[in-house]
Amino acid sequence: MTAAPPGRSLSRKAAHALRHPAALVYLAVCAILLVWALAVTLADGSDESMAGVIPLLATAPVSLVLLMLPDHGSMLVVAVLLGALVNALIIGMCARALRKGYSAN
């Protein structure tokens, strides 16, 4: 068995990455897009609104994979929320890695 590497736990690293300004801006934009899409869809009486596509594309590819969940209106929200979280985590981790790389030189 190998010992766990020294340093922070995975959850602490994830929380640290999600607090990066780039990740927070991305999450805010995704939340605004989701609220906008829900408002437009609810205001439109017919079920022909395509506003839900915009937040799905903003949180792709994860949200597109999660869209394969059972067909229900709340699954769009779940797919967008999880997609935004995963993408924000990746954005935060990449931004921190790039910052660390710049400071090492």
7 falls within a domain: no
11 falls within a domain: no
pLDDT digits (tens, 9 = 90+) for 13-42: 888 888 899 999 999 999 999 999 999 988
Cα of 3 vs its chain's centroid, Å: 31
4 falls within a domain: no
30 falls within a domain: yes
33 falls within a domain: yes
pLDDT digits (tens, 9 = 90+) for 39-77: 998 887 766 778 888 999 999 998 888 777 777 778 888
For the chain, the domain total comes to 1
Please work out, in degrees rounded to the nearest 5, the angle formed at the alpha carbon of residue 87 by the alpha carbons of 83 and 47.
Answer: 30
78 falls within a domain: yes
12 falls within a domain: no
Nearest to 62 by CA among 40, 85, 39: 85
Structural domain boundaries, residue 64 = 17-104
